[in-house]
Amino acid sequence: MYELKNILKTYGTKTVLSIDKLIIKDKNITAISGPNGSGKSTLLEILAGIQKPTEGQIQFKNKNIVKRKPGQVIIILQNPIMFNTSVYSNIAFGLKVKKTDKKTIKQKIEAVLVLVNLNGFAKQNARTLSGGEKQRLAIARALVLEPDIILMDEPTSGLDVQAKEQLKKTIKTIHKDKKIDFIIASHDTEFLFQTATDAFSLLNGQQAPVSVENLFSGVINANGNFIIDSGVEMTLSTFKRGKANILIFPENIVLSKHLLKSSMTNVFKGEVIKLIKFDNEIKVWVDIGIELCCKITPISLKKMQITIADNIFVEFKATAIKVY
């Protein structure tokens, strides 16, 4: 969907974004995690084409982002801004820009209001809606334009648990039924884990080692085993069946050079493909058919003498997997 090369965004002398290369795949709900001030919002606005990078190239669907069609990429800002008019007129704005006839506008708005569960709100002033309702109206306003992708900046900001739950459901339903991709920037990791199918992280404007590691989508079969799209099968502890996302915390994964006799039900043999050293921990990526990120201490690394291309056992309990 997106390919970014050598992106640099500066304000005066301050660099807010510096990304060498980034590919965002299509058919996903992609999460951008990172703390406040990490450059998430700037990146989203650049991806939306409403802000230009100081340097670099952005390809959207193999074309320069500036060549996108009106309404093809839509950004929903943090605390979405509503035009000071009715819910109906807010949704109609983009359609009027596209010179859609009145009858079609009416039909589309009626349908989308049902989809985002805002039917009955058409005549209400958009600025009088609650935070959660505004988020859903912003999605509706975007949806009627039939975009390829919707970008959302901190969508859970100021929402209560119930509103978050409804927003999550709305996003997933739209992604599934309308085949619209989402890129969601947030520091609400729980919301991201539960909603996203792919993720990357930003730290100080740079793409950081993924902090939303080991997030996979797949299907839980009748036996309660999770089968990742790539074919890797894992044992879970859940009653859930069907499509699901799982998260395996890297610190819950045990690495060993030899097969262990233990209660751990998920045992894989893989190859070490990447090692990154931090101050007090080492991240080890092991290819077991999927890339699995594991965390170990520098002492363990020294003791085990793990190097790139080593064959290694990866083991973790069924309960170490969080299912969403």
Partner 1 sequence: MFFDAFENIFLIISSGSTDLGIIVWISLEVTLIATIIASVFGIIIGFILAITEFKFKQLIISILNTSLAIPTVVIGLFLYGLLSRSGVFGNFSLLYTKTAIIIGQTVLIFPIIITFVHSAIKAVDPGIEKTARSLGAGRYHTSLAIMREAKFGVMLAIIAAFGRGISEVGISMMLGGNIAGYTRNMTTTIALEHNKGDFSLALAVGLILLIITFGINMVFHYIQRINKR
Residue 77 token pair: 């800002």
Residue 71 touches partner 1, criterion: CB under 8 A: yes
Nearest residue (CB) to partner 1, 91 versus 288: 91
Closest-CA residue to 136 (of 154, 118, 119, 149): 118
Q: Looking up tokens 């090692």, which residue turns up?
A: 275
| DSSP-assigned states of every residue in 178-247 | H--EEEEE-S-HHHHHHH-SEEEEEETTEEESPSS-SEEEEEE-TTSEEEETTS-EEE---S--EEEEEE
In terms of DSSP H, where are the helices of the chain?
40-48, 87-97, 102-115, 131-143, 161-178, 189-195, 298-304
Looking at 34, 53, 56, 94, which residue binds partner 1 (CB under 8 A)? Answer: 94
Is residue 158 close enough to count as binding partner 1 by CB under 8 A? no
Report the SS3 class of residue 310: coil
Binding flag, residue 46, partner 1 (CB under 8 A): no
Q: Which is nearer to partner 1, 79 or 189 (CB)?
A: 79
Contacts of 130 (CB under 8 A, 6+ apart): 163
Contact between 197 and 28 under an 8 Å Cβ cutoff? The reply is: yes
Verify binding: residue 84, partner 1, rule CB under 8 A: yes
Q: Is 129 in the site for partner 1 (CB under 8 A)?
A: no
How many residues form the binding site for partner 1 (CB under 8 A)? 25
- Taking CB under 8 A as the binding criterion, the range among 21-29, 92-100, 193-201, 263-271 that sits at the site for partner 1 is 92-100
Q: Which of 53, 56, 80, 218 binds partner 1 (CB under 8 A)?
A: 80
70 near partner 1, judged by CB under 8 A: yes
Pick from 29, 47, 145, 255: which binds partner 1 (CB under 8 A)?
Answer: 145
Pull the structure tokens for residue 142: 């975007």
Q: How far is the CB of 91 from partner 1 (least distance, A)?
A: 10
> Based on CB atoms, which residue is closest to partner 1, 77 or 273?
77
64 near partner 1, rule: CB under 8 A: no
Say how far apart CA 74 and CA 279 lie, in whole Å: 40
- Of residues 283-322, which lie at the interface with partner 1 (CB under 8 A)? none
Contacts to partner 1 by CB under 8 A: 45, 48, 50, 69-71, 73-77, 80-81, 83-85, 93-94, 96-98, 125, 141-142, 145
